[in-house]
């Protein structure tokens, strides 16, 4: 496995902070407070994307991170829109470097699979950027396992490799357990899963009548629209009461505990919201609590569909 460190050689922190709300639901003051809270708890790994908040996410992250750039790992993403062709990757990365005010990006993801562009074109471009030192690591997000391995084979032809993936993964989104996480462990690819709280569902607030992204954003309402997911969230809140932790702390710790996971990407719209997710840094789940948490949602069927051969998580 390629070891990912900051430019000064510091290992990745066990949580990453995602800046998707910077300049959107979090104004500059709240964004700064969250960045500072992350630094105070030792986080050195920050995630953004070209597409977030019309560039404000990258601009604010660059402003906060600039003074200690060498100690941080900065990941951004290209080609959410416009395809993973050469011209789009290069112009998107130019924008990102200018907004972040950084010469070098530590991790550049392809934001999603693009079945219309030959992988050779995308990975030849990424290899050039890597060889020029403009990016330090190549990564992909929202790829199926077969897509990662197909891309990895193409990358090898250009003497580079995919060092990290970013799948969705939480107690209510467990598909990654079937193929993606075992693949990553086997292939020595680091994993930074996103949405460990299910976009806020696992914070417990919806069961208490609260509002947030799931009531404000139709895409997220649909993504987390199945009634069993809300049952899981309610059961998590009850378990959290029982064991004396915030449900968000348990949800993040559960995600982090998967052996293939490198660093879940936590996020929030305020420092107050973020605190219970950061508390997962101090929580090690014992086998009993791990089993109780895993039992709160259906385990996805194994890739072979041979249920009798499954070993419990």
Judged by CB under 6 A, the number of residues near ligand NAP is 29
CA gap 155, 189 in Å, rounded: 13
The reply to whether 267 sits near ligand NAP by the rule CB under 6 A is: yes
Stretch that binds ligand NAP, among 13-21, 254-262, 289-297, 300-308 (CB under 6 A): 13-21
- Nearest alpha carbon to residue 141 among 168, 170, 115, 171: 168
- CB within 8 A of 37, min separation 6: which ones? 271, 274, 275, 278
Candidate segments 89-97, 228-236, 273-281, 290-298, binder of ligand NAP by CB under 6 A: 273-281
Binding to ligand NAP by CB under 6 A, coded x per residue (else -) over 45-64, reads --x-----------------
Instruction: Give the contacts of 65 (CB within 8 A, at least 6 positions apart).
Output: 35, 46, 72, 74, 100
Closer Cβ to ligand NAP, 179 or 198, answer by number: 198
Q: Choose between 123 and 194: whose C-beta lies nearer to ligand NAP.
A: 194
Q: Which is nearer to ligand NAP, 55 or 200 (CB)?
A: 200
198: nearest Cα among 240, 243, 234, 244: 234
Which residue in 23, 55, 62, 276 binds ligand NAP (CB under 6 A)? 276
52 is catalytic: yes
Residues 25-44 that bind ligand NAP (CB under 6 A): 25
- Asked if 177 and 204 count as a contact pair (C-beta separation under 8 A), the reply is no
Candidate list 107, 265, 278, 289; residue touching ligand NAP; CB under 6 A = 265
How buried is residue 87: exposed, middle or buried, by Cβ count under 10 Å (0-12/13-18/19+)?
A: exposed
Residues 192 to 231: which contact ligand NAP by CB under 6 A? Answer: 194-200, 203, 205, 212-213
Nearest 5°: phi and psi at 268?
-170, 175
- Shortest distance, position 311 Cβ to ligand NAP, whole Å: 27
**Which helix (H) or strand (E) element contains residue 46?**
strand 45-47
Sign of CA dihedral 227, 230, 232, 234: negative
Neighbouring residues of 302: CB distance < 8 A, sequence distance ≥ 6: 178, 309, 310
Q: CA-to-CA distance for 146 and 180, rounded, in angstroms?
A: 9
Report, in Å, the least distance between residue 304 CB and ligand NAP. Answer: 28
Among 50, 136, 258, 269, contact with ligand NAP (rule: CB under 6 A): 269
CB of 157 to ligand NAP, least distance (A): 26
Instruction: Tell me which residue has tokens 């690819």.
Output: 189
CB of 136 to ligand NAP, least distance (A): 18
> How far apart are CB 42 and ligand NAP at their closest, in Å?
18
> Would you say 156 or 225 has its CB closer to ligand NAP?
225
Please identify every residue annotated as catalytic.
Answer: 52
Q: Which residues bind ligand NAP (CB under 6 A)?
A: 18-21, 25, 47, 141-142, 166, 194-200, 203, 205, 212-213, 248, 265-269, 273, 276-277
């Amino acid at each position: 496995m390629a070891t990912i460190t900051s430019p000064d050689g510091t290992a990745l922190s066990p949580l990453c902070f995602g800046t998707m709300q910077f300049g959107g639901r979090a104004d500059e003051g709240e964004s700064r407070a969250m960045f500072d809270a992350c630094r105070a708890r030792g986080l050195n790994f920050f995630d953004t994307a070209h597409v977030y908040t019309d560039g404000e996410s990258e601009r604010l992250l660059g402003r906060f991170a600039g003074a200690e750039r060498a100690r941080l790992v900065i990941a951004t993403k290209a080609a959410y829109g416009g395809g993973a062709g050469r011209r789009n990757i290069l112009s998107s990365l130019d924008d990102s470097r200018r907004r972040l005010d950084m010469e070098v990006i530590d991790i550049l993801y392809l934001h999603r699979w693009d079945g219309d562009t030959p992988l050779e074109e995308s990975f030849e471009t990424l290899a050039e950027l890597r060889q020029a030192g403009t990016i330090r690591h190549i990564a992909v997000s929202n790829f199926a396992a077969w897509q990662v391995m197909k891309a990895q084979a193409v990358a090898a032809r250009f003497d580079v490799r995919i060092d990290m993936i970013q799948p969705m993964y939480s107690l209510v989104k467990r598909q990654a357990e079937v193929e993606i996480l075992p693949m990553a462990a086997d292939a020595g690819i680091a994993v930074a899963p996103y949405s460990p709280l299910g976009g806020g569902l696992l914070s417990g607030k919806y069961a208490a009548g609260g509002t947030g992204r799931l009531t404000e954003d139709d895409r997220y309402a649909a993504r987390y629209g199945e009634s069993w997911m809300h049952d899981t969230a309610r059961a998590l809140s009850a378990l959290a009461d029982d064991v004396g932790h915030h449900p968000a702390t348990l949800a993040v710790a559960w995600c982090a505990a998967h052996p293939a996971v490198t660093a879940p990407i936590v996020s929030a719209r305020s420092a107050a919201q973020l605190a219970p997710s950061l508390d997962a840094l101090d929580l090690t789940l014992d086998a009993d609590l791990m089993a109780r948490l895993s039992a709160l949602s259906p385990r996805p069927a194994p890739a072979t569909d041979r249920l009798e051969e499954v070993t419990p998580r």
